[in-house]
A = this chain, B = another copy of it.
């Protein structure tokens, strides 16, 4: 599988937009700072103005150009102009909304192809909330909050596939989503569950390292050592049984790397 050259900034929603904007600043830097030519993709939202606040923030940071693409239909997504537009950008930002709008409108479109090409060529892609969930190969598209883990409390669907081997959940602590992330991992324990709190992100670097930024926690659910699971035989109403899950909670200035079957976790220098 070809390894893309661009980073991913995967944000658990509700990132700081008024204060130091730690997470958005990280994205801005990775997108070349004052030389940034940014595309804000607000397809996830039905509100055509959803990208405007990000345009204002990145413009205020000093980006050379910020363009909002409020692509609301497959017809629009198949415009041939996107090949050029994405070839010239230095960063792509997915707003929140509904992840099924992102895949339903952009999946298989010319815009989608242009976006993947840009990322392979080194362009950073960020996404918040729905824009975070959509990063994985199989994504969570819905599920009960504050719920006992059961097989049918979640729905999954094919995502953009930018992040391999993981499934993302967002607004994680704030909406009580450990149950649904455990249910997702139970379906195939080879997949790492990554729960992102609000105002918290992981930055995935092509060298294979994930860094935590922001004010909350990142929860990792590693099911590869699961000893006992009833995922296939349990009914929709029966709670899942899942033993021997490994769980990690990390905060800013920690990083991890997946090496074989190990998750290696280490603190970063404070000044990185």
Q: B-contacting residues of A (Cβ < 8 Å)?
A: 145-149, 173-176, 178-179, 182, 197, 215-217, 221, 227-228, 230, 238-252, 254, 265
Contact = CB atoms under 8 A, between A and B. Distances in A.
Contact of A241 (B173, B227, B245, B250): B250
Contact of A240 (B176, B230, B240, B249): B249
A249 B181 CA distance: 13
Contact of A243 (B175, B182, B244, B250): B250
B245 A246 contact: yes
> Per DSSP, are chain A's interface residues mostly helix, strand or loop, or mixed?
loop
Contacts of A240: 217, 249, 251
Contact of A176 (B176, B249, B265): B176
A152 to B, nearest CB: 15
B148 A173 contact: yes
Contacts of A215: 239
As for how many copies of this chain the complex holds, the number is 2
A242 to B, nearest CB: 5
Nearest to A263: B243
Given A146-B173, A238-B251, 19 more contacts: A146-B174, A148-B174, A148-B217, A149-B173, A149-B217, A149-B249, A182-B249, A227-B265, A228-B265, A239-B251, A241-B249, A241-B251, A243-B248, A243-B249, A243-B250, A244-B248, A245-B248, A246-B246, A247-B247
Given A215-B239, A239-B217, A176 B145 contact: yes
Contacts of A230: 251
Contact of A173 (B179, B248, B252): B179
B248 A242 contact: yes
A180 to B, nearest CB: 10
Contacts of A241: 249-251, 254
B146 A146 contact: yes
Counting chain B CB atoms within 10 Å of each CB, the highest count among A246, A247, A248 belongs to A247
A13 B239 CA distance: 17
